[in-house]
Amino acid sequence: MTAAGHLLDIADLSREDLDAILDLARRPDLAQALSGKGVAMVFEKPSNRTRNSTEMAVVALGGHPVYIVGDEVGIGSRETAEDVVRTLACYHAIVCARVLSHMTLSKMAAALDAAGSSTRVVNLLSDRAHPCQALADVLTLEEHLGPLGGRRLAYVGDSNNVCRSLASAAVMLGMKVAIASPAGYGFDHEEAGAVRRLGVLSGGELFMTDDPREAVSEADAVYTDVWVSMGQEAEGTDRRAAFEGFSVDEELMAGARPGAGVMHCLPAHRGEEISPGVLEGEASWVWRQAENRMHAMRGLLAWMCSAPSGSPDEQGRRS
């Protein structure tokens, strides 16, 4: 975890942190770690799963979630990111934000650190990372596969923010991760190196290819995401052309291990990145994966409240 306890990226966690969060997420009953506390939820981009999973996780821990749409605070137009988060820290123990730019989160965290506040920032999605999705993903993988060391995960599609966080968490847990993306849509050298370094201690590995069949071969689980993400609509025609042949369909899944599962962070575009039969078939872990967004968030928030960089009673009182 970062020194002040923020979670902006999976790389902010140690392997021990990750294991502790997943352990808490598996517990059916957790202490009311957020009792009497507020959690601000700032959404510059809308989301079905992220909003509902976060709100219900806060409620389960006894806290009070406050949903804030981007126009209410106007980050960068009405107020700076720094002013927004220091104001929210007056009322809330944790500020969760789903933002257009990762830099917004960095500014928020830096402003709280400079002010001596123990309020923490959680990344609900940025253009760089989606760590809360990754926590749900590896929780789902462990439920179906057990310990992940040596297991094989294939990701087929755009090496986007979801892919980056997923690969980071998976290699930290010792998985062999193969990513298939068309030329120009994979990790660059620096991104791939950063992911590989996270797997050094656990034996996790990262392999990059432009061949979906090569990635899926012998995989224990196959993951995909939309080809055209929110905000990329203008690129839709070019992206669909580039990703032709990268659909996770019945033919591609035949190359994975028998019993391999299928994952998708949703929303799904049936007939593009995934076939309807695979999404709705027996191999699909997608709906359990969606439910685990809530359980993973419960585990994360409970863990943040018990982490040593500030007690829940102190949070939000020193900004």
- Name the residues annotated as catalytic: 98, 130, 133, 225, 265, 293
- The distance from CA 185 to its chain's CA centroid, rounded to whole angstroms, is 19
- The distance from CA 124 to its chain's CA centroid, rounded to whole angstroms, is 7
Question: Helix 189-198 to helix 161-172 angle, to the nearest 10 degrees?
Answer: 30
**DSSP structure class, residue 234:** G
Burial of 84 from C-beta contacts in 10 A (0-12 / 13-18 / 19+): buried
CA distance 180 to 5: 33
Distances (CA, A) of 273 to 175, 224, 227, 257, 307: 23, 7, 7, 20, 39
Beta bridge partners of 207: 178
Quick one: tokens of 20?
A: 């502790």
Side by side, the strands of the sheet bearing 205-209 are 205-209, 176-180, 152-156, 221-224, 261-264
CA distance 175 to 214: 17
